[in-house]
Chain A
Amino acid sequence: MHSLYSFLVGPMVWVSLLILVFGLIGKFIYLTNMAKKRDPWVFNYLQLKYALRSIFVWLIPFATMNMRRNPVMTVVTFAFHICLILVPIFALAHVIKWEEAWGFSWWTLPETAAIIMSFIVLGGLVFFAARRIKLPEARYVTRPQDFLILVVVALPYLTGILAFYQIFDYQTMIILHILSGHLMLIAIPFTWLSHLLLFPMARAYVGSEFQGVRNVKDW
């Protein structure tokens, strides 16, 4: 058990991070090269100002017409994404691990806040799953894999909460927590979780095309 733990918080961290980073970099290089070769529309019209403006506007809650039309979805989506990203980076236990490994640390979230935020992530996922089941147009285009991705994202947060409250066996739970964290990181480049990277890429193109060529805003 102990050696498994050491492996998961040691070499495996490198493996996951490398797969994540190189997976995304590889995807970026693959797509940009392909665009340069066969899709000249993309780079010929790319303009930094419009690209950044498009990304920026779509990162502001209620800044776009469709966000205002779907207020519940907007609130849930923003709360979900913010918590999803902040908790793993600023959770106390995580920062301690970084400090042990690299010798430096940074600001941490109060533990209660981290727990509440993890619940927000889980709540968000339940909402997304329910929406996919209840809303006919979402159900129509949802595939079983889409639910699987939601589960993959939920596991690290769920096991994190269970480990924190020491529900079930702590040792097992922490191993599951770390395993599921790795699984999520590795899944990002290979599933639609890669919208982490593709969101700014797609928006950069669409923003440039709409604002730059079509003379009209894209939100």
Chain B
Amino acid sequence: MSEAATAKKIADPGLDQSIEKLTPDRIEATILRVINQENSARLKTFVDTCVHCALCSEACHYFMSYDRNPRYAPVGKVKNTLWEMIRCKGKVSKEFIRDAAQIAYTECNLCKRCVHFCPFGIDTAYLMTIVRRICHLLGVTPQYLQDTSHSHSATFNQMWVKDDEWMDTLQWQEEEARDEFPGLRIPLDKEGADIMYSVIAPEPKFRAQLIYQAAAIFHEAGSDWTMPASPGWDNSDMAMFSGDAEMMGRLKRKHFDTARRLRVKKIVMGECGHAYRSVYDMGNRWLGYKEMPIPIIHAIQFYCELLRAGKIKVGSQVKELCTFHDPCNTVRGMGLHEMGREVARAFCPNMVEMHPNREHNYCCCAGGGVINCGPPHKMTRVHGNRIKAEQLKATGAKVVIAPCHNCHGGLEDIIHHYKLNMKLMFLGDIIFEHMQKPGAAE
């Protein structure tokens, strides 16, 4: 059994070098602090309730993709991390912490699919965030992930985007878009606008055309909107995934405060899943807000509202066979599966479902900060999501619609690796391409 359940150690300076600084006392004190003081009732209930039946195993794409290796079963991951930490009352070795970090950061996407499989509803994703919290406090975090977290701390955005670069990018995209839509503006810091549009830092950094597209959609819909000129524009949150709860709180406060400063009625977020998780689930609650302190909607909801209200209209349709991938954070996080399909169907008459779907959909294997752990861990997740590749292939679709940045990253890699020959699109890509554009230049 033990030989079947071993996994390759992936070299990562953030893990290998960091553990050298650890002392047994520090490990013990940190584990006890997190287990006994920061987390208690849910952790205890989940650990005490578990009857070790392993019915959660098939929920996990890693387990399914790695030939049912029990190490990757959700309960197997808990066994190799928290069970041992609790049993030894925190007296574990630094090598143990290193392995626990590899499991919690790179072999679990916190997608919560296993919650649907457990008869007791044990939330293994929550348990893995506890392990990550311990590792963060011990300074044992994957190097790439920690770098994005440092960027959050230093700049309040994930990609070291400087303040002037941010505004420059928006004005550049505005200028580009005005060739196509002469009256278009990307209103910066407009106080009292209806909507503040926030995005994740990879948009200005690598995918500026997404800001162009969003601006075009806002323009055609006649929305009164703005984007902030100050830090607080980035809604992403890798600190949430590295276990840096304090920084997560600061980031979310900045985001909410920016919307308050601009006195907007609501925030619309781009097509990102984890950022959404950090505003409705983790960050808001860390700050003590029971719900979101200012209405925030995901792009899926926004597009759906625009279509229902007739503010954007279907111009042309996608001819190819399309399928819809449900991101964990919009489905198991906010139940947006039907809204997403409503938008997709309006533009794509030829839709085919992947199975399983909706709240039972397989994860993209990029989320939960796993893709942000960088190149060293890339193949762990690509091989760890063979099941998703098979699921996509079985649809026979030519286009995969995925309204989440992380999902795009993860799916792109498996589409390439497993040679699926599929095109990956955001809802925004489809709307931009196929909506009626009366405001466009002739």
Contact = CB atoms under 8 A, between A and B. Distances in A.
A136 B69 CA distance: 8
A137 B334 contact: no
A194 interface: yes
Contacts of A70: 55
B49 A141 contact: no
B45 A202 contact: yes
Nearest to B75: A141
A4 interface: no
Contact of A201 (B1, B45, B356): B45
A145 B227 CA distance: 58
Contacts of A45: 290
B4 interface: yes
A203 interface: yes
B115 A218 contact: yes
A219 B63 contact: no
24 contacts: A31-B41, A31-B45, A35-B40, A35-B42, A38-B38, A38-B41, A39-B39, A41-B285, A65-B360, A136-B70, A137-B57, A138-B54, A141-B73, A198-B120, A199-B49, A201-B49, A205-B42, A205-B45, A206-B115, A206-B123, A213-B280, A214-B281, A214-B333, A218-B121
Interface in A195-219: 195, 198-199, 201-203, 205-207, 210, 213-219
B123 A192 contact: no
Interface residues of A, number: 49
B334 to A, nearest CB: 5
A37 B281 CA distance: 20
B55 A215 contact: no
Contacts of A192: 48-52
B120 A217 contact: no
Contacts of A48: none
Contacts of B219: none
B54 A141 contact: yes
A42 B41 contact: yes
Contacts of A32: 41
A39 B116 contact: no
A142 interface: yes
A140 B5 contact: yes
Interface of A: 31-32, 34-35, 37-39, 41-42, 44-45, 54, 58, 64-66, 69-70, 73, 132, 135-143, 146, 192, 194-195, 198-199, 201-203, 205-207, 210, 213-219
Q: Which of A45, A205, A214 has the most CB of B within 10 A?
A: A214
Interface residues of B, number: 54
B53 A218 contact: no
Nearest to A215: B335
A136 B1 CA distance: 8
B79 interface: yes
A132 to B, nearest CB: 8
Contacts of A216: 331-335, 337, 359
A206 to B, nearest CB: 3
Given A38-B37, A42-B42, A207-B121, A66 B55 contact: yes
Q: Which of B41, B52, B117, B123 has the most CB of A within 10 A?
A: B41
B42 A135 contact: no
Given A140-B73, A216-B359, A198 B54 contact: no
A142 B285 CA distance: 35
B44 interface: yes
Interface string B283-297: 001000010000000
B76 interface: yes
A37 B50 CA distance: 23
Contacts of B359: 216-217
Contacts of A140: 1, 5, 54, 70-71, 73, 76, 79
Given A66-B119, A195-B51, 12 more contacts: A39-B41, A136-B4, A140-B54, A140-B70, A140-B71, A140-B79, A146-B52, A205-B45, A206-B115, A213-B280, A214-B334, A216-B337
B378 interface: no
B97 interface: no
A82 to B, nearest CB: 15
Contacts of A41: 42, 285
